[in-house]
Chain A
Amino acid sequence: MQIRFFFAVLAFSTGGAAVAQPLSAEDSLELRDGDRVVFLGNTFIERSQSYGYLETLLAVGGPRRDVTFRNLGWSADNVFGHSRAVFDRPSAGFGKLRKQVVEAKPTVLVIGYGSNAAYAGKKGLDSFLEGYRRLLDALAGTGARIVLLSPIRLENKGPPLPNPGPQNANLAVYVKAIGELAAGRDYRYVNLFKALRAEGPGRALTDNGIHLNARGYRAAARTIAAALGLDVEGVEVKLEARGDAVRASSARNAVVRELKGGAGGVSFSMTRSMLPGFPGGGDAAEVLSIGGLLPGAYALRIDGVEVIKATAATWKVGVAFDRGPDFDRVDKIRRLGVEKNFFYFHRYRPANWPYIYGFRKHEQGNNAVEIPLFDPLIAEKEAEIARLRVPVARSYVLLPASAEKGGSR
């Protein structure tokens, strides 16, 4: 079991850069301190708020800065904002969409439309593009830097679900057009349709063929972050032990201090330059190689918690792992983001709208005072995320596994 795990971890690729087009530096979306990224689109965007992968990667990847995120995805929406019209006629949805975006105060807008329009096939393309241009023109006033996302490719789940072939053909037409639209306006563009593919049986990115599952959203997050030059990078540290003396021969994306040897083990303090990817999936794994250990099994503890065990021979080659306190921290940031998104959803789109703000507000409008109470809760979560996203020094201790209770298995 243990052995298989080693091989598995060593086989990891280091993130989504492999599937996305690597971009030159000037193409990267430099997020700045204080940036507000607003996600806008249909179900793809709306559901991403309860996964939180994308905003977490954008928050922890790249150079150090504090960025906040607002999700304005609305199920089955289109470039006309039809899903947002609520009690008004569909045409009123566009004004509401614009208002929602403006009120979210974006400095960066990540927009994903087109998957629903594509059902109309080629004959619907002109109307879609006309609508998309109108939308982008209307949002230009916000001054936000704009990123366009293509729709994803539909997966074939087999009967009794429909064959997505014809719709994928439609989507290809729309994807191409969105890419051209982005290029024409000098917007950054991420072609998810091209980049996202299941990596094999049992590794599907959707459960129903059309909406991403958790694996799908992780893959999408990696792809988008990489395409924007904001992907997280792995840590690679090489140490050489010689008795009590320990030397760091190289340390990529981390600072290693207080190296100590002796008592058959090694200890040091390490601070990452940025947080890693998510635990348990191979994103930007940490690779640690330690040479010069006496033969036997060794267990690594980070901040007192055991992370992994391996033999001296394996440690010498290098052990890749994707768990430990920094990985936990990334997941904690993700969960905080999801909680924040839940608050924001009920802030900008509260249930019982007619009673609180609408045509029945004379009845329950007094409850409107509650709604802004979500703001401090959102701010609290964001402050916590801002604190957690800064890497801290971790204590690494490698000791013979036989010294551990229960020994090595």
Chain B
Amino acid sequence: MKNMSLATFLLTALALMPGSLAAQRNLRKAPKPDPAAELREFQPAEGFEVNLFAANPMIAKPINMNFDARGRLWVASSGIYPHIKPGQVPNDRILILEDLDGDGAADRSTVFADGLLMPTGVVPDDDEGAYIANSTDLLYMKDHDGDRKADEKRVILSGFGIEDTHHILHTFRYGPGGNLYFNQSIYIHSHVETPYGVRRLNGGGIWQFRPEKLRLEIYVRGMCNGWGHHFDRWGQSFGADGAYGDGVIYLMPGATIIGSPTSRKIMRGLNPGSPKECGAEILSGRHLPPEWRGTFVTNDFRAHRVRRYRISENGAGYASKQVSEPLRSKHISFRPVDVKMGPDGAIYFADWYNPIIQHGEVDFRSPMRNRQHGRVWRLSAKGRALVKRPELAGAPEGKLLEHLKDPEDWTRHHAKRVLSHRPRADVARALKEWIGKLDPEDEATGHHLLEALWTYQSIDEVEPELLGRLLRSPDHRVRAAATRVLGHWYARLGSPLPLLAIQVADESPRVRLEAVRTLGMVGSRAGGATAEAAMELAMTALDQPLDPSATTPGHGSRRHFKDGGVASGFLDYALHVTAVDLEPWWLPALEAGRINFGGNSRRLEFALAAVGTKRVVGRLVSLIREGKVPAARQEGLLAMVALHGDPGQLAFVFERAEERLGILDSLARSALERKVVPARGIDRVDVLLKASDEQVRAVGARLAGLWKVGGLRAELERLAKSPSDPVARVAALEGLAFFSDKLSVAFLKGQGSAGGSMEKRSQAVAALASIDPAAAAPLAVNIFTTGGKGSSERQASLGRLFSAFLSRQGGAGALANSIGAKKLAQDAVKIGVRLSEPYLQPGQAAGAESRLIEILRKAGGLTGGPKKLSLADTEKLATEVVESGDPARGEALYHSSELACLKCHAIGGAGGLVGPDLSSIGTTAQLDYLIDSIFDPNKAIKENYHSTAVITKDGRVLTGIKLRETPSELVLRDSDGREVPVRRDNIARRTTGGSLMPSGLVDSLTRDELRDLIRFLSEIGKIGDYSVGRRSTARRWRLLERVPAGLEATDKAPVGGPGDAGLSWTPAYSRVSGKLSLSDLDRGKTGIAFAWCEVRVVAGGSIRIELRSTTGLTLWVAGEKAEMAPEGAGRVVVKLPVGVHSLLFRVDLKKRRRGILCEIDDVPGSPGRAQFVVGR
């Protein structure tokens, strides 16, 4: 009680006072750092309990931790993070925590190393030394005299980038065969000298390092913040990303994962729509309940939660599904950043303990930043025996080998690490003896032998006999792992290729995948004829089936063929990577006639398509011409030829294009960006103008203009006036503009000034603006000065016009000059300002352009800029939010079409992808940050959400978020969520700017509405009603805008269903709870609504669809009507093949009184795995 100081009393008293002070506390004060208080807030999984393992002063600011073979926990700790102060002496530390009596709490803490600068990774080597990330350097430090303090310090590697201190070297892990792995994140550029030459890695990735050989290689590229990496029992590795919500990532060797700046194709994670995650551990061992073993644990550090996934094999790769959460908390400073299993079989969490999680948004020197505290928590299963801590450090070799049979990954791992420091000959002798005693009939022997193989790898002793045996093991998981070991040993195996020839023809797709990647790595290291032969061998994997398409989940887009740059299948992707890696050898060999892929056209086609550049399109054309490519695969190849070919090749493409949009779009891009037009046959574009699909008519009209087919001008003019074909009309106007001559200017001027509808006039002026902004500007201003009712048509017309000027070089300036001092309609000004902001940011625009926003404001009589809040205003608003904000009303506003939040910001992965997903915004953002971000979007921008502005050589202006960049192409995501590719050689200027989020978005809201909206945002992700659950729930919907006549009374699906282009479907999204609300469903007077969502089946089989209530619902799954009880809970089990399938609901609004909550789940015993398609 003596400790109940005055300050404590005051705090308690303040907390009890309602209103402003409580809000302020939320805003500016962190909770008292009392571990007991934090402990009380934990909600562990059923049957589990949490205890404190260590807290300050034993440790502070833990970032990364790893156990050693003695069971001691090594912790990297930094108080300097995120940035050194001038004059500050580096004083960060590596600590060793010891639980001497085995009671699950640390009793001793020793400073192993001091004087470090932001050590973000540490792993002990089980020989009293440790590898440590020290900003630019990888250090090795060692204790030689047994006092647990380092007395040796060496720089092992240097030159790792420090461009962002939460991206620097991190996530240290030993692999099963003794390689050390560590990661860097997306902003880092590393340049490292090694005895084998320079290694460079720009962007994120995982390094693979062999300590005693000092051999450093790139294991995978990409991931934004790959803060998690662990190997499973079979040596396969999986990652977690702290900036990209893809859940578990299967780390195929050599893959490029989302987030790498340069790559032709990337691989996505297995759980799109997941939160950002940090740390990763695959669980194992007798202490945990059986159903927990083998699951992947990672930290949703933003939401103070720990998540768990079950990973299962899926073809050549994996599928993953979220399962029950191990731990969650409401405590705002609980920041689980690392997770490791301990020697006792319990799970340990490093808690960075900080209300602030990052340094991008929050000032380096913010007083809220906690620099002193930190904890390690321990999660154990109640009533289950702990694992007896194994004695490894001094154990004889024979005993260590016996531990390789233990079910705990922890024990087997450290036994191998300890063995790796013993004399090689002793270990080899003991291993041989141990292997001899294993019972070949025992099912467990396969894994024991694999551990033996990894032990040989750990002591760097090549053992061809055991390798050969395991390459042909009856267990495909052993064969896959052995194939990878073969890759590490290839240089000492004499001729590894014949062995790989067998693996690449294996009956298991997982083994084939490993063989394909191993061939890629062996080939690129050996080079020369070996590389050529490896490539030919790898391509033989095509003789067996690849994964079914759509194996890796992604954000779906069904309508257009898109290269998209995202892997479509695991084995397919592995082949692609190998073909790209080996291209420097096989392509010249092919051209020189040294190799021919055994005359197999399928293999050749695949190889050429992987290259996909100008250099290979001639050969692709030959293959197609010779009839060697089946029709089903031609579209992608023809589009590739269209993008890179010469006029003759483009003519070849156009002859075969038919009405395929992917090909036609590529032809249009080549005309626009490269000025390359088919050498002949362009007159036949007239056929497209008569196509039944309006999209085809539209691209036809554009092509007619781009190719300047004079004979079609009259037809385009006719289409441009057509009242009944709006899509083709706009395209015809664009097509006419592409003629860029006096005739088209005159025609467009006429259409733009005639007395037609505002919609038609704006379309004509927009087209004119793309060729002659100065001529178009006065016509546009005429439209802007005319007031009108705020109909959606009017809004669209105004938006179209502004966009046309802004996306043309000189367009904004022409508009500014034309507006001058004229007064414009209020709505025109608002739309104009909103659309201009992303284009006209400081540094991106100059001259008249930069004044457009100012001129618009003046023209609309708007004074000042968008609303800005003072600090006092912010605090006042925050107080009101806490007092009276209604999150339910706020959520309705979030879904309203006026605010259009979902157009850019997804929740649970469903919604737009232009801005960050907001699934856990309430747990990461303080109220003041939320308020600032809404009122001033440029104040703090999430990483990777900075806009990029490009001016092309053909005079277009593009803005968007950079999605990826390949050697030939930059892909942006524009503010409408569309992917916009631009050839890099067509870029005249590129700048990086601020946010794409317009300011002034909330200016139209009432104070009540503002409070509600912010309250809602502040609740998302917190434990309660606004947290995305772990069950797989339909969140992305399409609603039928107008129910066609004839469907009201009948219980049948609209003709054609979801894919029917004749129907108008609008996007809608579930509430955070997962429910699609009834108010969103009700679109009109018919009393009937139709809604569909999609599931992506990643492994074929049975899937269970669950509905809380079936009242008033009819369901079609993949076009088949599902049998459901008319009332009560609905449960439908359907068998579905791999691919994307629709769930179409008919809702009888007269009967139904609630929204739709639709979930899917696995069916026990069935291999079927599915996820809902998310995204926009």
Question: Is chain B a partner of chain A in the same complex?
Answer: yes
Residues on A lying within 8 angstroms of B by beta carbon are 42-43, 46-47, 74-77, 82-83, 85-87, 115-116, 119, 154, 160-162, 164, 207-211, 343, 346, 349-355, 359-360, 362-364, 366-367, 370-371, 373-374, 377
Q: Which 6 residue pairs of A and B lie closest in terms of their CB atoms, listed nearest first?
A: A75-B159, A76-B191, A373-B86, A83-B191, A351-B162, A359-B992
Judge whether B1005 is part of the interface by a CB distance below 8 angstroms: no
Whole-angstrom distance between the Cβ of B86 and the nearest chain A Cβ = 4
Q: Interface segment, B41-49, B413-421, B939-947, B1063-1071?
A: B939-947
Whole-angstrom distance between the Cβ of B668 and the nearest chain A Cβ = 28
Residues in B neighbouring A370, C-beta threshold 8 A? 83, 85-86
Q: What's the Cα separation between A221 and B416 when bound, in Å?
A: 43
Beta-carbon contact of A353 and B163 below 8 Å = yes
Residues in A neighbouring B191, C-beta threshold 8 A? 74-77, 82-83
**B151-188 to A contact mask, C-beta < 8 Å, 1/0:** 00011101101111100100000000000000000010
Residues in B neighbouring A367, C-beta threshold 8 A? 83, 363-365
Beta-carbon contact of A76 and B359 below 8 Å = no
Q: Interface segment, B194-202, B471-479, B831-839, B1168-1176?
A: B194-202
Residue of A nearest to B162 (CB): A351
Whole-angstrom distance between the Cβ of B200 and the nearest chain A Cβ = 7
**B912-953 to A contact mask, C-beta < 8 Å, 1/0:** 000000000000000000000000001111010010000000
Contact of B163 among A42, A119, A211, A354 (CB under 8 A): A354
Beta-carbon contact of B189 and A363 below 8 Å = no
Contact of A87 among B154, B189, B192, B214 (CB under 8 A): B189
Q: What's the Cα separation between A239 and B361 when bound, in Å?
A: 71
Residue of A nearest to B940 (CB): A363
Judge whether B82 is part of the interface by a CB distance below 8 angstroms: yes
Beta-carbon contact of B164 and A355 below 8 Å = yes
Given contacts A119-B197, A343-B86, A367-B364, 9 further A-B contacts (CB under 8 A): A43-B159, A76-B159, A76-B191, A82-B200, A161-B195, A351-B164, A352-B359, A366-B363, A373-B86
Whole-angstrom distance between the Cβ of A115 and the nearest chain B Cβ = 8
Q: What's the Cα separation between A343 and B200 when bound, in Å?
A: 26
Beta-carbon contact of B163 and A46 below 8 Å = no
Whole-angstrom distance between the Cβ of A319 and the nearest chain B Cβ = 32
Q: What's the Cα separation between A209 and B198 when bound, in Å?
A: 14
Whole-angstrom distance between the Cβ of B83 and the nearest chain A Cβ = 6
Beta-carbon contact of B86 and A363 below 8 Å = no
Contact of A374 among B86, B168, B195 (CB under 8 A): B86
Beta-carbon contact of A162 and B195 below 8 Å = yes
Beta-carbon contact of A162 and B158 below 8 Å = no
- Choose among A75, A119, A208, A349 the residue with the greatest number of B CB atoms under 10 Å from its CB: A75
Residues in A neighbouring B694, C-beta threshold 8 A? none
Residues in A neighbouring B197, C-beta threshold 8 A? 116, 119
Beta-carbon contact of A164 and B158 below 8 Å = no
What would be 26 A-B contacts, judged by CB atoms less than 8 Å apart? Answer: A43-B159, A74-B191, A75-B158, A75-B191, A76-B159, A82-B191, A82-B200, A83-B189, A87-B189, A115-B193, A119-B198, A160-B460, A162-B195, A162-B196, A211-B193, A343-B86, A346-B84, A346-B86, A352-B83, A353-B163, A359-B946, A360-B946, A363-B361, A363-B940, A367-B365, A370-B86
Residues in B neighbouring A75, C-beta threshold 8 A? 136, 158-159, 191-193
Beta-carbon contact of A208 and B195 below 8 Å = yes
Judge whether B909 is part of the interface by a CB distance below 8 angstroms: no
Residues in B neighbouring A77, C-beta threshold 8 A? 191
Beta-carbon contact of A76 and B193 below 8 Å = yes
Residue of A nearest to B165 (CB): A351
Given A161-B195, A210-B195, A352-B83, A85-B189 contact (CB < 8 Å)? yes
Judge whether B1150 is part of the interface by a CB distance below 8 angstroms: no
Residues on B lying within 8 angstroms of A by beta carbon are 82-87, 118, 135-136, 154-156, 158-159, 161-165, 168, 187, 189, 191-200, 212-214, 359-361, 363-365, 460, 938-941, 943, 946, 992, 994
Q: What's the Cα separation between A161 and B164 when bound, in Å?
A: 33
Q: What's the Cα separation between A130 and B1155 when bound, in Å?
A: 71
Q: What's the Cα separation between A2 and B168 when bound, in Å?
A: 50
Residues in A neighbouring B992, C-beta threshold 8 A? 359
Contact of A116 among B136, B193, B364 (CB under 8 A): B193
- Choose among B154, B191, B212, B992 the residue with the greatest number of A CB atoms under 10 Å from its CB: B191
Q: What's the Cα separation between A355 and B155 when bound, in Å?
A: 28
Beta-carbon contact of A47 and B164 below 8 Å = no
Beta-carbon contact of A351 and B84 below 8 Å = yes
Q: What's the Cα separation between A26 and B191 when bound, in Å?
A: 39
Residues in A neighbouring B199, C-beta threshold 8 A? 76
- Choose among A74, A87, A355, A366 the residue with the greatest number of B CB atoms under 10 Å from its CB: A355
Residue of B nearest to A377 (CB): B87
Whole-angstrom distance between the Cβ of B188 and the nearest chain A Cβ = 10
Residues in A neighbouring B941, C-beta threshold 8 A? 360, 362-363
Q: What's the Cα separation between A209 and B194 when bound, in Å?
A: 9
Beta-carbon contact of A160 and B213 below 8 Å = yes
Residues in A neighbouring B994, C-beta threshold 8 A? 362
Q: What's the Cα separation between A95 and B118 when bound, in Å?
A: 30
Given A161-B213, A362-B939, A367-B363, A352-B155 contact (CB < 8 Å)? no
Residues in B neighbouring A362, C-beta threshold 8 A? 938-939, 941, 994
Residue of B nearest to A74 (CB): B191
Beta-carbon contact of B195 and A86 below 8 Å = no
Given A43-B158, A210-B193, A76-B198 contact (CB < 8 Å)? yes
Beta-carbon contact of B164 and A46 below 8 Å = no
Contact of A363 among B163, B195, B360 (CB under 8 A): B360
Whole-angstrom distance between the Cβ of A118 and the nearest chain B Cβ = 10
Residues in B neighbouring A366, C-beta threshold 8 A? 363
Residue of A nearest to B948 (CB): A359
Beta-carbon contact of B214 and A208 below 8 Å = yes
Residue of A nearest to B364 (CB): A367
- Choose among A46, A115, A346, A352 the residue with the greatest number of B CB atoms under 10 Å from its CB: A352
Beta-carbon contact of A352 and B82 below 8 Å = yes
Residues in B neighbouring A360, C-beta threshold 8 A? 360, 941, 943, 946
- Choose among B168, B187, B938, B941 the residue with the greatest number of A CB atoms under 10 Å from its CB: B187
Beta-carbon contact of A351 and B360 below 8 Å = no
Residues in B neighbouring A343, C-beta threshold 8 A? 86-87
Q: What's the Cα separation between A164 and B363 when bound, in Å?
A: 48
Residues in A neighbouring B198, C-beta threshold 8 A? 76, 116, 119
Contact of A351 among B163, B192, B194, B213 (CB under 8 A): B163
Whole-angstrom distance between the Cβ of A96 and the nearest chain B Cβ = 12
Residue of B nearest to A119 (CB): B197
Residues in B neighbouring A119, C-beta threshold 8 A? 197-198
Beta-carbon contact of B360 and A160 below 8 Å = no
Beta-carbon contact of B359 and A364 below 8 Å = yes
Beta-carbon contact of A86 and B364 below 8 Å = no
Q: What's the Cα separation between A373 and B940 when bound, in Å?
A: 25
Residues in B neighbouring A162, C-beta threshold 8 A? 195-196, 213
Given A160-B213, A162-B196, A210-B195, A355-B359 contact (CB < 8 Å)? yes
Beta-carbon contact of A207 and B83 below 8 Å = no
Q: What's the Cα separation between A375 and B196 when bound, in Å?
A: 38
Residues in B neighbouring A208, C-beta threshold 8 A? 156, 195, 214
Q: What's the Cα separation between A74 and B161 when bound, in Å?
A: 11
Contact of A47 among B156, B158, B214 (CB under 8 A): B158
Residues in A neighbouring B460, C-beta threshold 8 A? 160
Residues in A neighbouring B162, C-beta threshold 8 A? 349, 351-352
Q: What's the Cα separation between A208 and B191 when bound, in Å?
A: 17
Beta-carbon contact of B200 and A76 below 8 Å = yes
Beta-carbon contact of A86 and B214 below 8 Å = no
Residues in A neighbouring B196, C-beta threshold 8 A? 162
Residue of B nearest to A351 (CB): B162
Q: What's the Cα separation between A388 and B905 when bound, in Å?
A: 62
Residues in A neighbouring B85, C-beta threshold 8 A? 370
Beta-carbon contact of A87 and B163 below 8 Å = yes
Q: What's the Cα separation between A183 and B273 when bound, in Å?
A: 63
Residues in B neighbouring A349, C-beta threshold 8 A? 162
Residues in A neighbouring B192, C-beta threshold 8 A? 75-76
Residues in B neighbouring A354, C-beta threshold 8 A? 163-164, 187
Whole-angstrom distance between the Cβ of A375 and the nearest chain B Cβ = 9
